[in-house]
A and B are shown apart, each in its own frame.
Chain A
Amino acid sequence: MDARRDMVSHCISFCRELREQGLLVGPNETADSLRALSYVDILDEGQVYWALRTILVSRADEIPAFDDCFTRYWTFRRPSGLGGLPTRAPRQQGTLRAGNLSAAPAGLRAGAQDQPLSVDIVRTGASAAERAGGRELRGLGVDGLDEVLKAAARIARALPSRPGRRLKSHRRRGRPDLREALHRNMSYGMEIVELPRRRKKPRHARLVVVLDVSGSMDRYAKLLLQVVYALGQRAGRVETFVFSTSLTRVTREMRAPTFQGALGQVGDKVRHWSGGTRIGGCLKTLIGDHGQLLERNTTLVLLSDGWDTGDPDDLAGQLSRLKRRVYQVVWLNPLLGAPDYQPLTQGLQAARPHVNLFASARNLEQIKRLPAYLKG
């Protein structure tokens, strides 16, 4: 009995640890994992691993944290039956390519029956230098945020909308709404006196915002992060990414109820603050891994100064692929407003033909002027 009670309390503390790591684990999930352990062979590491993983993980990017915890909490003398844990390739820090996203099953090591179990763990914690970015970020103030929020709401309204698939009742136009007709004409003894109609409700455009957080952008970071945050709050369907040398999706983090909270969460997630820039490569990742977001009514907003260390042809190529898939590409460049700045960097020259709107975003005044151009 003691061993059993130990197992239960061990599993509970494992769940608690995962919750602290930010996984969606509540009492229900804990109860389910206990139930699951009674269904599988608990001496078989493979079965325990996969059972707990399918219950406790709820999105692909939680898998590395789960794996890390699992190796710390569950040690098995020898793998048997289904085999041990999946072999894991060392992860590159911070990159969000789907290859590492899964970080798991290239196949279980079925042949490793009598070898001692050893798994390489890559700590996902950031180094002190990388964390500094996050802390610095938290220091950014909220002053002026209200103004930015108002501007963002106007930008959101200026984005083109097209008829969606949902229907909404309308007095004169659209297709007859039979359901409503039956209900409404009941009182006339089922003689159709009124004919209510429904028509397609306009649907908001999707906005994909890609923010450059490389070193050269530091001066404008506060305003631009505010803009990005405000768009996330005020526009309906917004997806947010940040990039420097690699691309990270931060949509969820940017939805935090306060600006400070969002900054904290983004700072924790993103490991490549103030690095170099590789716009072309990051756009390629965007198209490859998040291509589903790029629809015909998507407006893509790229916030970058265009100091690219990558190949200009590559950048142009990726931009032209992007432009073919979305409604419009808007490049907001904080340097464009500077009197002594000519967009001469090679990357920018190559990019220009593939951008629908190339505008300055040096200060709030310029951000406010954007809606006029977006209406097109």
Chain B
Amino acid sequence: MFPSIPAVLERLEEERYIADPAIATSIYLAANLGRPLLIEGRAGVGKTEIANVLSRILDTRLIRLQCYEGLDVSTALYEWNYQKQLLWIKLAEDSPMDAGEKEQHIFSRPFLLERPLLEALTCRDGAPVLLIDEVDRADEEFEAFLLELLSEFQVTIPEVGTIRAEHVPLVVLTSNRTRDLSDALRRRCLYLWLDYPSYEKELKIVTSKVPSIAGELAKQICRFMSEARKLDMGKTPGISETLDWANAMVMLHHDHLDREVVQETLGCLVKDADDLEHLRSHALEELLAKV
């Protein structure tokens, strides 16, 4: 899939995802060893984006399963199309089929609704990228079910039989650590911890995602962000906040940061009333002095 680690880095860069060797190595090995990749990190550091970019690079489908509490097999894997089954039964009332045949018919593939996980297994045109987003939000029962799927890449539906993956999907799981995932799941996966980016990395991200930004402004924004993250904030801004802010600056035609401009646009990066208050009353001057 990928010839070498530098090649992964290059392809990621082409897709405007600024990666580092840690990310590239994990992707390279996940693809070559056929193991799922578990990505943990704070909100807004680009965990989900990795799966998006991967599907673009490999030119395959991205199948996404958003996890939430109470997510169960019928929303994640498959469900029978009951309306269709009932309709068919009504229509077939006069048919010469006996009850057994009818039952067999309504529990066959045409009556099966594929949910994301089954879709990923049955995808015919090449191995898709399967993103299992925020897996920590699903409960333990679901995690246990996932284990079986991720190790065998097959599922058993009682009425139909075992369905094996046509192409083994490239699986990316993300977690915000709201709950500690089980050791068993962790063992199945390669692990990647994403932290807030360094100043240099963030600058590269901003200039590649917001190409119309003035060079000096981009530097100021990134310096401001890396200083702001050192503050003890209730909600530390991530990369997505940086990008929102950079875009806002471009849209408002500003080419440098000053007190007034920052005050106006602070809502792009600070999303907690206490932080906003703290920044406005104390920390802003200091931050601006450092920028």
A residues apposed to B, CB below 8 Å: 24, 26, 28-29, 32, 35-36, 39-40, 46-47, 50-51, 53-55, 57-60, 63, 81-83, 98, 101-102, 104-108, 164-167, 178-179, 181-182, 186, 189-190, 203, 237, 251-252, 284, 287-288, 291-293, 317, 321
Bound together, the chains give a CA A349 to CA B6 distance in angstroms of 59
Question: Which of the residues A101, A164, A252 comes within 8 Å of B70, measured between beta carbons?
Answer: A164
Which residues of chain A are within 8 angstroms of B6 by Cβ–Cβ distance?
81-82
26 sample A-B contacts, Cβ–Cβ < 8 Å, listed by A number: A32-B35, A39-B33, A47-B5, A47-B21, A47-B25, A50-B22, A50-B26, A51-B29, A54-B22, A57-B191, A58-B189, A59-B191, A82-B21, A83-B21, A101-B193, A102-B193, A104-B193, A105-B22, A107-B198, A108-B20, A166-B139, A186-B99, A190-B86, A291-B235, A292-B176, A292-B178
Contact B82 A24 (CB under 8 A): no
Contact A293 B178 (CB under 8 A): yes
Bound together, the chains give a CA A157 to CA B42 distance in angstroms of 33
Say if the beta carbon of B263 comes within 8 Å of chain A.
no
Tell me how far the C-beta of B232 lies from the nearest C-beta in chain A, rounded to whole angstroms: 6
Bound together, the chains give a CA A28 to CA B187 distance in angstroms of 9
Tell me how far the C-beta of A370 lies from the nearest C-beta in chain B, rounded to whole angstroms: 25
Contact B186 A59 (CB under 8 A): yes
Q: Mark B161-191, 1 if CB is under 8 A from A, else 0.
A: 0000000000000001111100100110111
Among B194-222, those with CB < 8 Å from A are 195, 198, 200-201
Which residues of chain B are within 8 angstroms of A321 by Cβ–Cβ distance?
234, 274
Which residues of chain B are within 8 angstroms of A292 by Cβ–Cβ distance?
176-178
Which residues of chain A are within 8 angstroms of B274 by Cβ–Cβ distance?
317, 321
Among B112-150, those with CB < 8 Å from A are 139
Tell me how far the C-beta of A38 lies from the nearest C-beta in chain B, rounded to whole angstroms: 10
Contact B82 A178 (CB under 8 A): yes
Q: A28-B187, A39-B32, A83-B21 are in contact. Are A179 and B193 (CB under 8 A)?
A: no
Contact B186 A82 (CB under 8 A): no
Bound together, the chains give a CA A317 to CA B176 distance in angstroms of 26
Which residues of chain B are within 8 angstroms of A36 by Cβ–Cβ distance?
29, 33
Tell me how far the C-beta of B96 lies from the nearest C-beta in chain A, rounded to whole angstroms: 15
Bound together, the chains give a CA A321 to CA B278 distance in angstroms of 14
Which residues of chain B are within 8 angstroms of A57 by Cβ–Cβ distance?
191, 193
Tell me how far the C-beta of B5 lies from the nearest C-beta in chain A, rounded to whole angstroms: 6
Which residues of chain B are within 8 angstroms of A39 by Cβ–Cβ distance?
28-29, 32-33
Which residues of chain B are within 8 angstroms of A291 by Cβ–Cβ distance?
234-235
Bound together, the chains give a CA A53 to CA B198 distance in angstroms of 20
Question: Which of the residues A54, A165, A182, A252 comes within 8 Å of B190, measured between beta carbons?
Answer: A54
Bound together, the chains give a CA A46 to CA B131 distance in angstroms of 27
Can you name the residue of chain A whose Cβ is closest to the Cβ of B20?
A105
Contact A108 B21 (CB under 8 A): yes
Bound together, the chains give a CA A287 to CA B35 distance in angstroms of 34
Say if the beta carbon of B265 comes within 8 Å of chain A.
no
Bound together, the chains give a CA A308 to CA B243 distance in angstroms of 40
Question: Which of the residues A46, A58, A164, A179 comes within 8 Å of B74, measured between beta carbons?
Answer: A179
Q: A47-B5, A165-B70 are in contact. Are A60 and B40 (CB under 8 A)?
A: yes
Which residues of chain B are within 8 angstroms of A167 by Cβ–Cβ distance?
70, 72
Which residues of chain B are within 8 angstroms of A108 by Cβ–Cβ distance?
20-21
Which 6 pairs of residues, A with B, have the shortest CB-CB distance?
A165-B70, A292-B178, A50-B25, A58-B186, A178-B82, A54-B26
Can you name the residue of chain B whose Cβ is closest to the Cβ of A40?
B5
Say if the beta carbon of B89 comes within 8 Å of chain A.
yes
Which residues of chain A are within 8 angstroms of B177 by Cβ–Cβ distance?
292
Q: Mark B42-55, 1 if CB is under 8 A from A, else 0.
A: 10000000000000
Contact B187 A50 (CB under 8 A): no
| Given contact pairs A167-B72, A186-B103, A190-B102, a sample of 16 additional A-B residue pairs in the complex whose CB atoms are under 8 Å apart | A40-B28, A53-B22, A53-B191, A55-B190, A83-B21, A104-B193, A108-B20, A165-B68, A179-B74, A179-B80, A179-B82, A181-B82, A182-B106, A288-B234, A291-B234, A293-B178
Question: Which of the residues A24, A54, A101, A166 comes within 8 Å of B187, measured between beta carbons?
Answer: A24
Question: Which of the residues B89, B195, B235 comes within 8 Å of A102, measured between beta carbons?
Answer: B195
Say if the beta carbon of B236 comes within 8 Å of chain A.
yes
Bound together, the chains give a CA A167 to CA B201 distance in angstroms of 46
Contact B187 A60 (CB under 8 A): no
Bound together, the chains give a CA A291 to CA B82 distance in angstroms of 41
Tell me how far the C-beta of A183 lies from the nearest C-beta in chain B, rounded to whole angstroms: 10
Bound together, the chains give a CA A13 to CA B76 distance in angstroms of 41
Which residues of chain B are within 8 angstroms of A83 by Cβ–Cβ distance?
21
Contact A58 B183 (CB under 8 A): yes
Contact A106 B191 (CB under 8 A): no
Contact A164 B69 (CB under 8 A): yes
